[in-house]
């Protein structure tokens, strides 16, 4: 098992702007750095993983209302999502959303499935951009799901995650110290900057998760990434390293975006 630790931060800025420092903030449109949650939801199953199934208020689903399906320390809530039909991509529909850890313990290995109108989780419709994300209590990250099938009138989501064992928790003090955005190849929005490790050991398996919004606050794209070469470059103690995240899909021209950085501290030489 990977060493388990987590530190994370979420920042809102105006696209193509630049900011430095580690404080969470809101863009000029008033977008919250932590999306508003309609209600709490949690579950605990026999394998110590959490499950939630939020009901959406509408097909566009900006503020879904999660259904409580149990109790426990792990509480994952899909606080917001947007449905984006993509008829030019073989009839695929994109679901972009934000998941928040409403529990009191960090979680990782997060898996989110789209749930159809019959209440069945669509096995092929699994969220991307969460594979290496570690969510601390109170933190949020973006995800994207590609779906091809019959229209779903009332989309729901099922989420599972593993808790980070407190006995193995080794906090890495990560912060995004600079960031900026530009349009790159194939119309993809590139978000670049630097992550700093202020802990006393090197950080490994770190990742930066980015959520893009339009002027109305709708989620239009999500991405994640780490080193500029496509790998999590070594992040030594008390040092900085550059990151690169490409938002998908292309040609979305987001007006604002949020960043969330997380990773593990590795005490080994």
3-state secondary structure the chain: CCCECCCCCEEEEECCCCEECCCCCCCCCCCCCCCCCCCCCCCCCCCCCCCCEEECCCCCCCCCEEECCCCCCCCEEEEEEEEEEECCCCCEEEEEEEEEECCCCCEEEEEEEEECCCCCEEEEEECECCCCCCECCCCEEEEEEEECCCCCCCCEEEEEEEECCHHHECCCCEEEEEEEEEECHHHCEEEEEEEEECCCCEEEEEEEEEEEECCCCCEEEEEEECCCCCCCCCECCCEEEEEEEEEECCCCCCCEEEEEEEEEEECCC
What is the pTM (predicted TM-score) of this model? 0.75
Looking at the structure, do residues 148 and 252 belong to the same domain, yes or no? Answer: no
Residue 46 lies in a domain: no
Q: pLDDT under 50 in the chain at which residues?
A: 1-72
Final residue of a structural domain among 140, 166, 192: 166
Residue 71 lies in a domain: yes
- The count of structural domains within the chain is 2
Residue 126 lies in a domain: yes
Residue 94 structural domain: 53-166
Looking at the structure, do residues 87 and 59 belong to the same domain, yes or no? Answer: yes
pLDDT digit string (tens) for 90-114?
779 999 999 999 998 888 899 999 9
> What's the pLDDT at 188?
94
Looking at the structure, do residues 175 and 186 belong to the same domain, yes or no? Answer: yes
């Amino acid at each position: 098992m990977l060493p388990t630790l987590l530190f994370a931060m979420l920042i809102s800025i105006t696209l193509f702007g630049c900011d430095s420092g580690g404080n969470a903030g809101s863009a000029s449109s008033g977008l919250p750095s932590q999306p508003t949650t309609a209600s709490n939801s949690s579950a605990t199953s026999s394998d110590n993983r959490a499950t939630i199934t939020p009901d959406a208020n509408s097909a566009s689903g900006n503020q879904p209302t999660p259904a409580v399906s149990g109790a426990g320390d792990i509480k994952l809530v899909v606080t917001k999502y947007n449905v984006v039909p993509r008829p030019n991509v073989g009839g695929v529909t994109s679901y972009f959303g934000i998941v928040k850890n409403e529990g009191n313990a960090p979680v990782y290995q997060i898996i989110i499935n789209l749930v159809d109108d019959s209440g069945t989780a669509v096995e092929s419709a699994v969220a991307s951009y969460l594979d290496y994300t570690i969510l601390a209590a109170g933190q949020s990250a973006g995800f994207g799901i590609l779906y091809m099938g019959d229209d779903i009138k009332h989309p729901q989501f099922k989420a599972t995650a593993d808790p980070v064992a407190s006995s193995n928790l080794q906090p890495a003090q990560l912060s995004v110290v600079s960031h900026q955005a530009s349009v790159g190849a194939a119309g993809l929005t590139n978000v670049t900057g630097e992550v700093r490790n202020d802990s006393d050991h090197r950080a490994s398996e770190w990742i930066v998760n980015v959520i893009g919004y339009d002027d109305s606050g709708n989620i239009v794209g999500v991405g994640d990434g780490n080193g500029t070469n496509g790998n999590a470059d070594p992040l030594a103690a008390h040092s900085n390293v550059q990151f690169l995240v490409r938002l998908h899909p292309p040609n979305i021209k987001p007006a604002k975006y949020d960043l969330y950085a997380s990773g593990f501290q590795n005490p080994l030489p």
